[in-house]
């Protein structure tokens, strides 16, 4: 089963994180990612740019409204993720407990990633996606 570990943080915890030496942060994350690789559970991992450089597309209106970051009303921002292929949610939780960049205001949300096999296989769009995944080596 695949699980996404989503790094979330508040403005305050991001500010505290900015005080950490960059090389130290890279070392800690690098060691953790290496452990995931050595365990054979890492599928993907990415960090995200600062929210101030992003945009939000809000579909509450027609046409949708695009708003530049930062987002002052947001209590927590999504900062990066790992996708792990593990045996259970409990195993994903155990890995999340070991995330090195943690502290007050920092959280890791864990969500299962649905497999394409869980969708109706006779659906035209599912068949097209399956063909694409097979062609790109994802299945």
pLDDT tens profile 21-68 = 888 888 999 999 999 999 999 999 998 887 778 888 889 999 999 888
Predicted model pTM: 0.83
Residues with Cβ within 8 Å of residue 12, at least 6 apart in sequence? 104, 105
Alpha-carbon dihedral 10, 11, 13, 16, rounded to 10 degrees: 180
Asked if the model's pLDDT at residue 73 lies above 70, the reply is no
CA distance 90 to 24: 29
Contacts 24+ apart (CB under 8 A), 47-56: 47/7, 47/79, 47/80, 48/78, 48/79, 48/80, 51/77
Give percent above pLDDT 90 in the chain.
57
Query: What CATH number has the domain spanning 2-135?
Result: 3.30.70.1060
CA distance 125 to 112: 22
Specify the pLDDT at position 71. 63
Residue entry with tokens 């097979």: 134
Structure-block tokens of residue 34? 């290496």
Handedness of CA 104, 101, 108, 78 (dihedral sign): positive
pLDDT tens profile 85-103 = 999 999 999 999 999 877 7
Question: Domain spans of the chain?
Answer: 2-135
CA distance 34 to 39: 8
Length of the chain: 139
């Amino acid at each position: 089963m695949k699980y996404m570990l989503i790094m979330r943080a508040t403005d305050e915890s991001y500010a505290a994180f900015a005080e950490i030496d960059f090389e130290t942060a890279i070392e800690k994350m690098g060691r953790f990612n290496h452990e995931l690789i050595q365990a054979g559970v890492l599928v993907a991992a990415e960090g995200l740019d600062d929210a101030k450089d992003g945009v939000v597309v809000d579909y509450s209106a027609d046409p949708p409204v695009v708003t530049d970051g930062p987002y002052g009303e947001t209590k927590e921002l999504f900062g990066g993720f790992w996708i792990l292929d593990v045996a259970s949610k409990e195993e994903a939780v155990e890995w999340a407990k070991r995330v090195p960049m943690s502290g007050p205001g920092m959280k890791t949300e864990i969500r299962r990633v649905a497999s394409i096999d869980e969708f109706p296989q006779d659906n035209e769009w599912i068949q097209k996606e399956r063909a694409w995944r097979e062609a790109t080596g994802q299945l």
